[in-house]
Structure 1
Amino acid sequence: MNKKVYLNGNSYVQLTDASLVPSTNGAVASFTFTMYNAGSTSINVIDYWARLKTKSGTKYTLTLLDKDKLKTVSPNSSATLVFYSEVPASVTLDKLVLDFIKFDFSVSGYEKTIGEFTFPAEYSNSIPAGGFKTVKINSSNVNLRVDQINVYKATDKYNINLSYVARNTSQFGVPLPEYNYYVQTSVGLYKLAVKNTSDANTTLEPSVLNSIRLTGSVPTSVPASNWKLIITQKLSGDSSVELPVGTFAIPFTVNSNSITTKSTFTDEVGTYDVELQSVQRFPWNDEDNVVAKVLVKNTESVYLPLPSLTGTLIIDENISLDSQVISNTGDVGLAPGASTTMTFVGKLPYSYNWKKLKLQLMEKSGETTAQVAEIAKNDVTPIYSVPNGSVYKQLSNGSQMSVQATDVRTYSGDTDDLFAAYLDITNNQTRSAYLPYWVAYFKADNGNLYPATVVKSPNAISPSNKDQVIAYANIPQTVNHNTLQLLIGEAFDNNGLLKKEGTPAGYIRAVTLGLPAEKTDTTQYKDLKVGPYNVDLNYFNVYIGDTGTLEIDLGGNVARDYSYDAFSQSKLLFELEYEPSGDVLWSQQVNLESKSDNAIQWKVGDNYNSISKDLAQTKFWSRYTLHVYDTLNGNKKLLFSKDVKFSSITNWLDGQH
């Protein structure tokens, strides 16, 4: 093989391929030569031929493919010559002798052998796994390579899904020929069909990697080892002869019918691996969301669309839970070797504990829906816990963000108290994005759950900026607030993940956040935090004016953290109270940058206000208490408290009193 036989001067002929494949009449032997003309005049192809015989002397007639088109080889160019012949099935390449001859009427028999080729017993032109073969299609060179194979053992047959890739390395597009495909086993050939008719009619454009998917079956009585893919092409006008195009090794592992966490399926566009990574239970009203997270991977060498999957959860063999599939925002397709996750959610009474769970995956094609995979996982994966002070990072496509609990506050009311947790949600994407709509529960150390109301912005958040989210609930005073955790997840409705507003039908990707201890010091009037604002109070003066009015001078400095794109808290409530009786002498709302009726507006920077209030009844006590509150839904959280007296010359916030 590959040795050069010189014709004259530097012109030569070279055997580049030899193949022998089974056929309906026995076998077809084919031999490919490259004839190169290094001279200055054309070479007449008809002056040369090939002869085939066995070592024992049996002769076979060779036919030259496209002989009517191969007349001459021009100077400094080459031509491909393919000779073929039908031979008995018992013939092997090592039993054959191939002669290349030149017609010469000056010698006996009128032909002269100028090259002889034999083949060793171990000779094989089969392409090893991962290798490629270059074939000629028209005048273009095209590389062929087996991409992947999946063999699934059914009751009486092996179901085969196989794909190979073709890359045209020339400059012009060529149509894929009408090849035939076979699996060669130790007992015979089994034909494969092109799975997608559009693949059979594809045009191989220059440099584009095209994937062609094949499907078929082999009886389970056939040994499942040492299989090969044979690609052939029928001769035009002779349906009985198929010339070999290539033979490829296809090592594989049989997927049994036992159900595990992993499976593989092939549809009309490609082959995917699926893996049931986790099964979790999330509380949802008086039920549980059963949440199955499935990894979907593209095993092809070409881009594939995200498969259109639906799923049914099977509990303890006989209980079926219809599930909703939720894809990541922005998932459209998968690059070669890439993966993403899809989530399947069903509902189950929270008191039911299963022993077995499996997920049946279906895919719709046209008007029919067929099961493509079945995966199982019996263990329930615990909800991921984030310790207090740590940051939870979500990396899923379309939801890249960071979540951190930064503060908790108890807001007192006339009839009940609100317990609130503050979260910083940072957009880690490179574009402005609508961050998730959340579902949240406060969880006590005894496992009791308290549904929380979540306050978030419906607006998009800029890259690296934050949304300050508040989750609050009425928590019984008998519950120790210091041990509460916050269970929070991304809400979805019937259309998928919620980003702005809506009515949740459940949630996915839940985590449990450890919460910081509540700040109880109310003696500091510097660095009061409200939303994205830090307020330093620096002036408070109160006295009775000459006309009996209450006169108050109030001042402070406001700083803002502009990394917050969204927030809901931006007000302070000032009250002057006589605590023994609970009488409130004066109450004033201060809005930070915002405006509203009967409120004072403070802007970023220094602020100072003089306030006069008519008193319906003048009450004189020796001491009053200034209270500064953060408010939520009419409830109040005390931030600062200080005893003061009436004095027209005293600033109670100058650090001297």
Structure 2
Amino acid sequence: MNMKKNAPCVVLLAAALTWSSVVPAFAAGSVPATPPASPPTPSTPVTPPPTTEPPDDGARPSDALTIGTGPALGQVKVNGDSYFELKNVTMLAEQKGKTVTFTVSVRNESSTDLLFIDYWVRLRTKSGNEITVRLMPQDQEKNKITAKSVEDINFYASVNGTTELTDLVFEFIEWDFSQPNFERKIGEVAVPADYTIVTPANDSHVIDMVGTEVKTSVKKVFTTKNDENYSPTVVLNMENVGNRAAAVPAYQYLLRTNEGYMYPLDAKKDKELVINPQVNEEIELSGSVPVTVSTEGWQLIIVQEAAEPKINIPIAYFQLPALSDLGEVATGVEHNFSNEDGTYTARLNSFQRVPFEDQDILNANITLINKGSEALPIPELTGYYMLDDAVKVEAQLIKTDKTIGLAKGAEASFQFVGKMPYTYQFSTVKLVLEEKTGEDETEELLEFAQSSELLGIPYMNVGEIYKVSSLGRNASYSVRSVTTYPGDTVDIFTVQMDATNLEQRFSDVSKLVAQLKAPDGTVYPATIAEIKNKVSPDATALLFLSTTLPKGLPTTNMNVMIGEAVTEDRYTGAEDKPDAYVNAAAFWLPAEDTTVKDNLLDVDLLPYSISINRINTWLSKDQLKLTFDYELKKQLFSEANMEGRKLVIGFEDEMGNKSFTREFDFKDFEAPDATESDVQSDENINKLRLGKHVAVKLIESDQDLIFNMETLKTYKVSIYDSFQGQKKLLASKKIDWFSTTD
């Protein structure tokens, strides 16, 4: 269900982490909250279970986990001058509970090796609740701390949503057979009441990027505002203060408000940003925050998603400085110009830089207004862009409003589209608006200037609606859900969007350009199943966007960008190929529903749902009949394109005696040529239809199954949603042979 527009509480992180109920062995990186029955012998390494060497997947250094640097909280003496130091204690709120991470710095000042396996750190709350602690994957082999050296060992834990950092107490123990519970407490460190993990505004935080220190700070913060949202831009500066190059991971960037709401920010950076020693790089972060939320006390949080274990690791927290005053920015400001026909008012509505294929598009949306008492003709406008007052980029005029003149009080919108290499960087951009006065002559009318940091697009948080106001093409768009169809080598990822016709007449759904952007900056073009029929006023069409992703690529924290397609100087027609797009907006995607139902009732197949019951099996000497009733319903959408989608019913015997699948094309669900023979009870059905149907049969030929009667105990009937040959399991029910379900 979509959230209400501008609802302030927006869930941003991936779906809540799930934790295994089985506690791993100590050598595998975890110690239970209660001591083991037979603890390891002190100073004797525990042999870990055999492991399989991970495949060489070409992972870059930026795929490794990075670590922030938080304050030291205290020390616990081990022996002599050796000690443990607790530092970098952080906490991140998730959808369910919170994730705690911390670092134990082991300083061995003795003349012999120190084995960390002789020790452990326990975590509890001040009220006495014990919390399971686990080692970070990259530190599970760290045990021997050589003489006169220091080793940092990193841990994580999961706590409930009410636990705060100041509730935590860290106990350090040494395994000791002479003790009743085989352990001896050597000290503890409690988190003090004044402890904070937030870097003050105008200060820096050092991030350890796999052995290279990168000093990170917030350089400045801008924001623009409309009736519904703030559109903040945070400029993050990263300075490599180490002596080796540092690869910046695909971090998640979150804006946290004073009320605790968190909103994702999109990073404008190269896919593989590498910072060389003693070099600064700036990363621009853009997002959207409802105007109902206070701007006081905003924070920036940097998070890294770990693939194993699947947790979100907080890297750094920054207090954002006060927001800059953007009153002088050209957007929304009206300017007058005159020609021999009269006086016009021009307003710059938006200035965008967006990706398209192997280039970037510069796009300015201009509105001309007639505030005079008489009608005015549309001037023959031209224009171009100037980058840093030095580089000229030609601009194509797109007449998005089809009008031949401006009546008194009327207005019309125009777009200027320019193309440039996506790798080219600049600081300022200027749109020079001109009027053509002769065959090769132009006269300059106005200039609109903008900083490159503000060439953003609106970002819609989960559940928000984006409205496009264009003469004859008023519409709204919102994301409904996402689905992954896994494959052997690639995954097909789809986004389901609502497109509502806000016109007062039947209208075509605008042809769109769509692309998905991953956190590392990679852009994946998406295909949209074309809606071929017109949509009635206030009716909603279901758009089906799809793209192919590398197998197993995480889709959390992706966003989808859409824009109205244009070809040459007009909106793209049905048979045209887009060469640009305008009126772009990005949508943060909701978490995917990965639940597999354990029954076959009300299974969601957007825009349909199906219920299957009264399932029965019947066996003869050469046939298996699966009989069932079903009801197929459709949600209230005016139009949808179901090309490539199929419903798959799977049958699988528990002992492997028999399995088969049947596919049913979505396009047949409400085909106009439906006949009774398609669903009559004595036929082997090959099509499903809307409505209720009883005693339909799937018939499979099998000469040998009857000879396995005594091993036929249970079987499963499963429902899959299939797209382009790849399918996702939605529901599965275990059934006894020859019985009839409810």
**1:180-329 mapped onto 2 (5 Å cutoff):** 263-329=335-401
Q: Which amino acid aligns with 2:735?
A: V
Distance 2:731 2:425 in 1: 50
For residues 539-580 of structure 1, what are the alpha-carbon distances to aligned partners after superposition, in whole Å with 9 as ceiling and x for unaligned?
Answer: 3222322x3301111221122234322332674211113578
Which residue is equivalent to 2:165?
none
Corresponding position: 1:641 with 2:732: yes
Distance 2:657 2:579 in 1: 45
Q: 1:331 to 1:538 in 2, by over 3 A?
A: farther
Which residue is equivalent to 2:564?
490
Residue 601 of structure 1: which of 687, 695, 711 is its match?
Answer: 687
Q: Does the 8 Å CA contact 2:399/2:569 hold for their aligned counterparts?
A: no
Give the 3-state SS of the residue equivalent to 1:518 in structure 2.
coil
Q: 1:509 to 1:578 in 2, by over 3 A?
A: farther
For residues 104-124 of structure 1, what are the alpha-carbon distances to aligned partners after superposition, in whole Å with 9 as ceiling and x for unaligned?
Answer: xxxxxxxxxxxxxxxxxxxxx
Q: Which amino acid aligns with 2:389?
A: E
Residue 592 of structure 1: which of 669, 689, 698 is its match?
Answer: 669
Q: Does the 8 Å CA contact 1:287/1:348 hold for their aligned counterparts?
A: yes
Distance 2:703 2:417 in 1: 62
Distance 1:310 1:586 in 2: 60
Which residue is equivalent to 1:628?
719
Which residue is equivalent to 2:436?
364
Which residue is equivalent to 1:469?
543
For residues 371-426 of structure 1, what are the alpha-carbon distances to aligned partners after superposition, in whole Å with 9 as ceiling and x for unaligned?
Answer: 24131212233210111112222222222111111111111234321111100101
Distance 1:381 1:331 in 2: 28
1:365 shift after superposition: 4.8
For residues 472-514 of structure 1, what are the alpha-carbon distances to aligned partners after superposition, in whole Å with 9 as ceiling and x for unaligned?
Answer: 1122345322222111111111141125343111111111112
1:291 shift after superposition: 0.8
Q: Does the 8 Å CA contact 1:276/1:377 hold for their aligned counterparts?
A: no
Q: Does the 8 Å CA contact 1:264/1:373 hold for their aligned counterparts?
A: no
| Count of residues in correspondence between the two structures | 392
Q: Does the 8 Å CA contact 1:532/1:567 hold for their aligned counterparts?
A: no
TM-score for the superposition, normalised by structure 1: 0.55
Task: Output the aligned Cα RMSD.
Answer: 2.8
Distance 2:403 2:611 in 1: 47
Q: 1:415 to 1:477 in 2, by over 3 A?
A: closer
Q: Does the 8 Å CA contact 1:263/1:373 hold for their aligned counterparts?
A: no
Residue 612 of structure 2: which of 523, 527, 537 is its match?
Answer: 537
Which residue is equivalent to 1:563?
637
Give the 3-state SS of the residue equivalent to 1:378 in structure 2.
strand
TM-score for the superposition, normalised by structure 2: 0.49
Distance 1:304 1:621 in 2: 83
1:446 shift after superposition: 2.9
Query: Gaps (5+ residues) in structure 2?
Result: 1-329, 679-683
Q: 1:581 to 1:266 in 2, by over 3 A?
A: farther
Q: Does the 8 Å CA contact 2:430/2:450 hold for their aligned counterparts?
A: yes
Distance 2:654 2:502 in 1: 48
Which residue is equivalent to 1:650?
740
Q: Which amino acid aligns with 2:554?
A: N
Which residue is equivalent to 1:78?
none
For residues 320-367 of structure 1, what are the alpha-carbon distances to aligned partners after superposition, in whole Å with 9 as ceiling and x for unaligned?
Answer: 212111122434432323333211010111122222322222333564
1:436 shift after superposition: 1.3
Distance 1:458 1:329 in 2: 22
Q: Does the 8 Å CA contact 2:652/2:717 hold for their aligned counterparts?
A: yes
Q: Does the 8 Å CA contact 1:388/1:513 hold for their aligned counterparts?
A: yes
| Structure with bigger gyration radius | 1
Q: Which amino acid aligns with 2:376?
A: L
Distance 1:281 1:411 in 2: 31
Q: Does the 8 Å CA contact 2:475/2:499 hold for their aligned counterparts?
A: yes
Q: Which amino acid aligns with 1:283?
A: P
Q: Which amino acid aligns with 2:715?
A: Y
Distance 2:575 2:728 in 1: 27
Distance 1:588 1:311 in 2: 55
Distance 1:423 1:581 in 2: 40
Higher strand share: 1
Q: 1:579 to 1:366 in 2, by over 3 A?
A: farther
Distance 2:540 2:657 in 1: 39
Which residue is equivalent to 1:394?
468
Which residue is equivalent to 1:577?
652
Give the 3-state SS of the residue equivalent to 2:550 in structure 1.
coil
